[in-house]
Amino acid sequence: MKLISLAATPVAFFLPSRSKHVDAGKLALISMLFTTFFLYIAGYHFPGGASHYPDWANSIVNGGILPPSHAQREVGLPLLYILGGFPFSHSFIGVTLILGLFAILIVLAVYWSLASASPTVAFYMGLVCIITLSPFTFIKFLYPDQAYMFFNLLAVALLIGFLWYGRFRFLYFFTLAAVAASFTRTAGNLMYPVLLTIAFIAVRGRFRHYLACAMIFAAATGAYQWHRYEIFDMRHQTSTPSGKGMQIFYSTYLYLGDFGYRLSPDLGPNTKLMLEKLRQELQPSTRESALIKQALPDDPEDFMEKHVFAYTPEKLYEKITTEPNEEYWAILMAIDSNDQFYLDVAKEIARSYPWYVVQYSARNLWHALFDPGYATTRYNVMGYLKTGNDFWPTTQGWGVRSEDPVAQYSSHADREMQYFPLKDHPDLQSFVAVVENYWVINYQTYIWITSVPIVIAWMGAAFGVLCWAFPRPYCTALMQSGLNKLMAPIIAASVLVIYEDLATSMFSQPVYRYFHLTEPLRLVIAGFGVILLMRVLSLVWKKAFATAEVSAIQTERAGALSAIQNNDLLNGYFGPRPIQLIFLLVNLNVALFGWWASDVIAKTRTASAFEQYKLSLISPIKIISATFGRSCREFVLPPPAATWTNDGNLTELVQGACSVHNVKNNRCTVLIGAPGWGDPAQGCGKDFSVIYECRGGGPARNAFIAAEASGKSVELNCN
Structure confidence at residue 401 (pLDDT) = 47
pLDDT reading at 132 higher than 90: yes
Fill in the DSSP letter of residue 421.
G
| Of residues 533, 416, 484, the one with CA closest to residue 164 | 484
Predicted TM-score (pTM) of the model is 0.83
Query: pLDDT digits over 377-409, tens only?
Result: 888 888 898 888 888 888 766 554 446 778 888
- Proportion of the chain above pLDDT 90, given as a percent: 54
> Which amino acid type is present at position 469?
A
* Cα separation, 414 vs 91, whole angstroms: 9
Q: For the chain, what's the residue count?
A: 719
Per DSSP bridges, beta strands 385-386 and 374-375 are: antiparallel
| Of residues 258, 256, 260, 320, the one with CA closest to residue 286 | 320
Q: Is the dihedral of CA 466, 472, 478, 479 positive or negative?
A: positive
Give the angle 282-286-291 at the CA atoms, nearest 5°: 50
| Of residues 269, 311, 166, 45, the one with CA closest to residue 320 | 311
Whole-number CA gyration radius for the chain? 28
Exposed/middle/buried for residue 191 (C-beta within 10 Å: 0-12, 13-18, 19+): buried
Backbone angles phi, psi at 385, to 5 degrees: -155, 170
Q: For 669-700, give one letter per residue: b (16+ CB within 10 A) or e.
A: ebebbbebbeebbeebebbbbbbbbbeeeeee
Structure confidence at residue 281 (pLDDT) = 95
* Cα separation, 416 vs 610, whole angstroms: 9
Q: Tell me how far CA of residue 499 lies from CA of 197, 575, 629, 646, in angstroms.
A: 15, 39, 47, 43
Query: pLDDT digits over 209-224, tens only?
Result: 999 999 999 999 999 9
Per DSSP bridges, beta strands 621-628 and 385-386 are: unpaired
Structure confidence at residue 552 (pLDDT) = 41
pLDDT reading at 559 higher than 60: no
Give the angle 108-111-116 at the CA atoms, nearest 5°: 130
Ranked by mean pLDDT, which of 22-36, 41-55, 59-73 comes out on top? 22-36
pLDDT reading at 565 higher than 70: no
Fill in the DSSP letter of residue 637.
P
* Cα separation, 98 vs 139, whole angstroms: 9
Structure confidence at residue 550 (pLDDT) = 41
Which comes out higher in pLDDT, residue 423 or 453?
453
pLDDT reading at 640 higher than 90: no
Residue 532 binned pLDDT confidence (cut-offs 50, 70, 90)? very high
Give the number of C-alpha atoms closer than 13 A to the C-alpha of residue 17, restricted to the C-beta side.
Answer: 27
Residue 330 binned pLDDT confidence (cut-offs 50, 70, 90)? very high
Helices 483-507 & 244-254, crossing angle to 10 degrees?
A: 80
pLDDT reading at 348 higher than 80: yes
Sequence-ordered list of residues with C-beta below 8 angstroms from that of 608, at least 6 positions apart, any chain: none
Structure confidence at residue 553 (pLDDT) = 38
pLDDT reading at 81 higher than 90: yes
Q: Quick one: average pLDDT of 675-690?
A: 83
Instruction: Note the helical H segments in 232-268.
Output: 244-254
Residue 542 binned pLDDT confidence (cut-offs 50, 70, 90)? low
Strand partners, 668: 716
Q: Is the peptide bond before 489 cis (omega within 30 degrees of 0)?
A: no
Structure confidence at residue 719 (pLDDT) = 78
* Cα separation, 141 vs 147, whole angstroms: 11
Give the number of C-alpha atoms closer than 13 A to the C-alpha of residue 143, restricted to the C-beta side.
Answer: 19
